[in-house]
């Protein structure tokens, strides 16, 4: 896999999962509205994918060591993978009752992070347990914080 595609895939998967799960859990805790959660997912899939792609574009440019074609490939692959991974969370929301969809989404998202983290560890010839645990802890912290923020906001309004 080319460097630019690997950048887009790894960033798109990681950001797509953590950002979307955080948003879903926060919106669910705050509103318990399927429509609001769906709107949030679609917003993340479009706006945040564009934002992340621009961020990767500027980051790659700032290194001043990549050709323009490589930078644009990283930009488009970041948008594509972030969009696809974020959008994939629509499926459980459409198929299940919202409370069940949130649980299914958390399991799905954490599974993606686990599989990808395991793959990274194997590529780097490192112990998978440490890398998987590190990445899962960060994702779970995001989920917990957004749950409490959504819960808090629901009590304020």
pLDDT at 101 over 90: yes
Question: Alpha-carbon dihedral of residues 57, 40, 155, 22, nearest 10 degrees?
Answer: -50
Mean pLDDT of the chain: 95
pLDDT digit string, tens, across residues 25-73: 999 999 999 999 999 999 999 999 999 999 999 998 999 888 889 899 9
pLDDT band at residue 7, thresholds of 50, 70 and 90?
confident
DSSP string, 96-136: S-HHHHHHHHHHHHHHHHHHHHHHHHHHTT--HHHHHHHHH
Contact yes or no for 25/96 (Cβ under 8 A): no
pLDDT at 157 over 80: no
| Residue 143 φ/ψ, nearest 5 degrees | -60, -45
Give the length of the chain. 157
> How many domains does the chain contain in total?
1
pLDDT digit string, tens, across residues 10-25: 999 999 999 999 999 9
DSSP state of 87: H
Domain that holds residue 25: 3-156
């Amino acid at each position: 896999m080319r460097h630019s595609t690997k950048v887009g895939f790894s960033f798109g998967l990681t950001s797509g999962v953590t950002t979307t799960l955080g948003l879903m859990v926060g919106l669910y805790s705050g509103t318990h509205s399927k429509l609001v959660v769906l709107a949030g997912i679609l917003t993340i899939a479009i706006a945040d994918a564009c934002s992340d792609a621009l961020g990767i574009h500027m980051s790659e440019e700032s290194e001043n060591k990549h050709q323009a074609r490589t930078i644009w490939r990283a930009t488009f692959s970041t948008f594509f993978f972030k969009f696809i991974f974020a959008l994939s969370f629509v499926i459980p929301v459409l198929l299940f009752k919202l409370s069940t969809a949130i649980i299914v989404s958390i399991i799905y998202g954490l599974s993606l992070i686990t599989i990808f983290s395991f793959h990274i560890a194997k590529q780097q010839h490192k112990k998978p347990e440490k890398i998987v645990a590190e990445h899962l802890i960060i994702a779970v912290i995001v989920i917990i914080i957004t749950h409490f923020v959504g819960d808090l906001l629901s009590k304020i309004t």
